Structure 1
Amino acid sequence: MNVGVLIELNNNINEKFEELRAMGMNSCQLVCWDENKFTDDMAELVNQAVKKYDVNITAFWCGWSGPVTWDFYDGQLTLGLIPPAYRFQRLQTLMLGSDFAKKMNIRDFVTHVGYIPENPYDENYTGTLVALKKLIGKCKENGQNFLFETGQETPVTLRRAIEDIGYDNVGVNLDPANLLMYGKANPIDALDILDKYVLGIHGKDGMYPADGKNLGEEKPLGEGRVDYPKFIAKLKEIGYQGDITIEREISGEEQKKDIIMAKKILDELIQV
């Protein structure tokens, strides 16, 4: 296993890669929520920076337009492909994102699909799967795996969706903190359910929700409820050999400090 970090796509990509290398890492996931950046010029800028700094981009994390509320109420109405009002528009954005990722030779394509219904007979479940099959077909044409970011659904619901889709290029980018912060699962137990589908990992930490409306609090890695010694041991047990990509959703010097500490913790656990 190798440790990398999540990097936001912008015109300062050379500076971002230089920081990445200075922190002792050579891999990242690239994240972008703005489809206006899905241009040939931006792809070329990234490709040149990859060569210059010898960086491996393991996944493209693609966002989408429209309202976004990260809670248990309005989040049901705004996040991902689940809300019918935004599904078509966001599907188009994600398909453009897949084409953009191909220009950078990125293998894995990741997004939050939203609160996948527990009930497989829910019309939003069936409607979302129709949209996902189109997107995943596009990913397959582009030589990519489509990865669900975990968090907003239980692991068994996510596995059911993968099995119902039926494509062989579908997997999971498992974020252990999200599973806790959304109150959906213990991430170590989730690996028993998702095991063979886990193709990416986020290194993040957090707490369980403190009330019925709001997500749990994100924490620096090692200060939340994710039991990282057991989590890394379980990853080894199921044979995971991919990267662990650190995500710390703050900015500035405190973010860099937390990322460096997270890398130290993860490197030590991987070597055990």
Structure 2
Amino acid sequence: MRVGALVHLREDFRKQMEELKAMGMSSCQLVCWDMSMMTEDTADKINQATKEIGITITAFWCGWPGPITWDFYEGQRNLGLVPAEYRTMRVEALINGSTFARLLSVRDLVTHVGFIPENPYDENYHQVVEAVKQIAVVCKKNNQNFLFETGQETPVTLRRAIEDTGMDNIGVNLDPANLLMYGKGNPVEALDILGKYIFGVHGKDGLYPVDGTHLGEEKPLGEGLVNYPRFINKLKEIGYTGDITIEREIEGEEQKRDVLKAKAFIEELLTK
């Protein structure tokens, strides 16, 4: 397993890649919430930079238009593909993201799908599954996988949704901290449920929620409640050989310090 980092697409992409290489990394997941940047010209610049600097983009993490609230109240109403009023334009955005990822020769398209209803008889559950299938069909034509990033769903609901699509190119980008921060499950035990569907992993840490409104707090990797020694061992047991992509949702020099500390922490565990 390699250790990489999450990179948000900006105009200074080449500089970002140079910094990543200087930090001793050769892989990243590329995140984009600005739909206007997903152009052929941008893709050409990215391809040139990654080739010259020696960076592999393992996944394209595609955002979507419309309101975003990362909590348990408004988030239920506006995140991902679950809210019917935003679904059509977000499916379109993710299909465009698949096209952009193809220009980058990236295999995996990742996003948050939202608070998928746990009740399989809920009509909205079936509508979300059909929306995911619609995106996955396009991804399959582009030789890609469509990945749910863990967070708003329980592992059981997530696995059910994947299997109910009937598609063989849908999987999971498992973020262990998100499972805690959303109060949806223990990341180590989640590996038993989601194992064969895990195509990507985030290196991130956090705490459980302490009230009914706000997500749990993100923490520097190793300082939260993700049991990383057990988590890494379990990844090995299930045969995961992909990258672990560090995500630290702050900015500036503190972010770089935390990413480097996380890299050293994970790499030490990988050698055991």
TM norm structure 2: 0.99
Aligned to 1:49: 49
For residues 4-83 of structure 1, what are the structure 2 equivalents within 5 Å? Answer: 4-83=4-83
Q: 3-state DSSP class of the match of 1:258?
A: helix
**How many Å separate the matches in 2 of 1:23 and 1:160?**
39
For residues 13-162 of structure 1, what are the structure 2 equivalents within 5 Å? Answer: 13-162=13-162
Q: Deviations over 1:144-195 (max 9, x none)?
A: 0110000101000000001100111111000000000000000000000000
Q: Deviations over 1:5-59 (max 9, x none)?
A: 0001122111000010110000000000111011010000100001111111000
**How many Å separate the matches in 1 of 2:101 and 2:10?**
14
Aligned to 1:168: 168
* Alpha-carbon shift at residue 198 of structure 1 (Å): 0.5
Percent identical: 65
Residue 98 of structure 2 aligns with an amino acid whose one-letter code is S
1:197 has 2:197 as partner: yes
Q: 3-state DSSP class of the match of 1:41?
A: helix
* Alpha-carbon shift at residue 124 of structure 1 (Å): 1.3
1:257 has 2:249 as partner: no
Residue 32 of structure 2 aligns with an amino acid whose one-letter code is C
Give the CA RMSD over aligned residues.
Answer: 0.5
Residue 169 of structure 1 aligns with an amino acid whose one-letter code is N
**How many Å separate the matches in 2 of 1:229 and 1:22?**
27
**How many Å separate the matches in 1 of 2:47 and 2:89?**
28
Aligned to 1:183: 183
**How many Å separate the matches in 2 of 1:238 and 1:7?**
27
* Alpha-carbon shift at residue 60 of structure 1 (Å): 0.1
Q: 3-state DSSP class of the match of 1:254?
A: helix
* Alpha-carbon shift at residue 121 of structure 1 (Å): 1.2
Q: Deviations over 1:209-244 (max 9, x none)?
A: 010111000000000000000000000010100000
Structure 2: gaps (5+ residues): none
**How many Å separate the matches in 2 of 1:127 and 1:235?**
32
Aligned to 1:225: 225
* Alpha-carbon shift at residue 110 of structure 1 (Å): 0.2
Q: Deviations over 1:129-152 (max 9, x none)?
A: 111111000000001011000010
Residue 3 of structure 1 aligns with an amino acid whose one-letter code is V
Q: Deviations over 1:72-92 (max 9, x none)?
A: 111000000000000001000
Residue 185 of structure 2 aligns with an amino acid whose one-letter code is A
Residue 31 of structure 1 aligns with an amino acid whose one-letter code is V
Structure 1: gaps (5+ residues): none
Q: 3-state DSSP class of the match of 2:148?
A: strand
Count of aligned pairs between the two proteins: 272
**How many Å separate the matches in 1 of 2:179 and 2:117?**
16
